[in-house]
Structure 1
Amino acid sequence: MKFLKEFKEFAVKGNMMDMAIGIIIGAAFNSVIDVLVKKVFMPPLSLMTDGLEFQDKKYVLRDAVLNANGDVTTTEVAIEYGMLFETFLDFIIVGLTVFIVVKGMNRLKDKAQDPKNTVVKTPKDIELLSQLTELMEEQNALLKNK
């Protein structure tokens, strides 16, 4: 019973909704990055390397064996390092994009939390804390002068 109560509190607080929204946006973001890498970054990179297709690069450990009819009797065994390269490029692009987005969000958050900044409206909790800090500093100055 305690477990259900904790789960209800978790779901009602919005944490679950925040996670669900993050997962949905993350999945969509993954699709965007996948297209960005495969259709935007890889073609020029392939052109600069004389038409080299990175996704097709592999190190063959054992060639495929064909019978007289041309059917595969033993499949090829290969290490496909080209796909690893593309996936690593995906990872770097995702990391850089997330870094830039978080950096921008932090900059906006810092501006919003600065009580002296009059351009961005300061949240009430930050404003109250700022006023409380100012009052405490005034009180400490009065106590020191006594």
Structure 2
Amino acid sequence: MHIYVDADGCPTVVKDIICRAAERRKITTLFIANHYIKLPPSSHVKSVQVSAGFDVADNEIVKRCESNDIVITSDIPLASEIIEKQAQVITFRGETLDKQNIRARLNTRDFMETMRASGIQTSGPAPFGQRDKKAFADTLDRLLAQS
């Protein structure tokens, strides 16, 4: 099992939780982004920098991911592709995305994108807080304990 992180939008606090868990469990973890990601020295945690461009990092994660891996992302289309590969998906806020809930999330995402494209102002996500940090850490620990 590997952990892949969609690192372009990963909050620093989530990055720190992932790095500690990877070291503790000795799990190969790759942070994939189109820019440099500073990580603590580790034999288990690495950064992969891909070229800039639309979905380049996402495509690299899909290419590398296999069933039973864990992918950490808040990108709903990427999550959908990962679920098709029978891997597990956690959002930065600790939500588990799976076959039962991904279709509704895709529909909501598409609806909100249509609203924004038509000029309607929508609010973004709530600020990342302590509750999100705890939910993420708890979900990651639970998934790692199952493997």
Do they fold alike, i.e. is TM over 0.5?
no
Decide which structure has greater strand share. 2
Greater Rg by CA: 1
TM score, norm. by length of structure 1: 0.22
Between 1 and 2, higher relative CO (CA 8 Å, sep ≥ 6) is seen in 2
TM score, norm. by length of structure 2: 0.22
Decide which structure has greater helix share. 1
